[in-house]
Amino acid sequence: MLGIVCALGMALCWASMGIVLRSLPARLDAFVVTGLRATFGMVAIALLVVATGGAAQYRLLTTTKVLYLVGSILAGGVVGDTLYLKGLRLLGMSRCFPIINSFPLFTVLCSTLLLGERISLVAMSGMFLVFVGIYLVARSKESSGGGSSVRVSSRDVTRGVLMSLATAALYGVEGVLVSLGAQDVGSVVANSVRVPVVAVVASLIAARRGQWSQVCRLDRRTVLLLVLAGSVGWALAGSLWVAAIRFAGPSRAAIVGSTAPLFGVPLSMLFLREKPTRYTLAGTVLTVAGVVLVL
């Protein structure tokens, strides 16, 4: 039950983080955003480690566990989150989010390939529903951002869908690696190993691409949004996600976490004034139903 509660909390935090990320200026480089919010999240996580007295648990971390945790964050936190932000800008919250939340499908596939789990007929039926849901979400050629109906080119729609699917696949890989690396280690401590990797790698990539100078031109509102995204997305949601995997297992954590679109779509309508089409709403329901069958 504790794991399910943590997964529900993660889903709500993740949906809220999507609203915050969508509110950031589109001109900001994706790696700059990823690096900065991970840096702010790292500070918040350090405070959580001290507050919860978790420093003693670092002795439980073996080299193998650290490698799993670092690998998980490179897949999901560096590459995955960067693709997420780009897909979000192309498709909007109400269309991008349901696609990304098909990640439990990829978790099951990775578990089958890496851990030898078998896929049942019911799970295969769920996978079919997921892909039908993704198709419906991507079917409309209108952007739902800003409360206005703006035509989006087929090329941008295709790019956004592919980036969102790639993000889902990377999040699926991340979930399996976290389950291997976080055994017997507190969720906040495990998360404190993962987040600094994102901050360093994303910042180095942004600097190499010549985009780090954008930091000097950030206004106060953008900085506050990045602090909020780091605190909610990395410190809170990240720790709840690791805790959900530890207490409920990867499958149950994924099935509850996949309900995030049910929070995200209404929030996007309320705060971003997005207007999801009937295809988006139907695709969201089918995607979540498919994930339930898969797991």
Task: Return the HEC string of the chain.
Answer: CHHHHHHHHHHHHHHHHHHHHHCCCCCCCHHHHHHHHHHHHHHHHHHHHHHHCCHHHHHHCCHHHHHHHHHHHHHHHHHHHHHHHHHHHHHCHHHHHHHHCCHHHHHHHHHHHHHCCCCCHHHHHHHHHHHHHHHHHHHCCEECHHHCCEECCHHHHHHHHHHHHHHHHHHHHHHHHHHHHCCCCCHHHHHHHHHHHHHHHHHHHHHHCCCHHHHHHCCHHHHHHHHHHHHHHHHHHHHHHHHHHHHHHHHHHHHHHCCHHHHHHHHHHHHCCCCCCHHHHHHHHHHHHHHHHHC
- Taking only the tens of pLDDT, the chain with its 295 residues reads 788 889 889 989 988 888 888 888 888 998 999 999 999 999 999 999 998 888 888 999 999 999 999 999 999 888 998 898 889 888 887 778 778 878 878 887 887 787 676 767 887 787 788 778 877 776 655 444 444 444 567 888 889 989 999 999 998 898 889 888 988 888 899 999 999 999 999 999 999 999 999 999 999 999 999 999 999 988 899 889 888 888 877 767 777 777 777 787 788 778 877 777 787 788 878 877 877 776 6
Query: Model pTM greater than 0.85?
Result: no
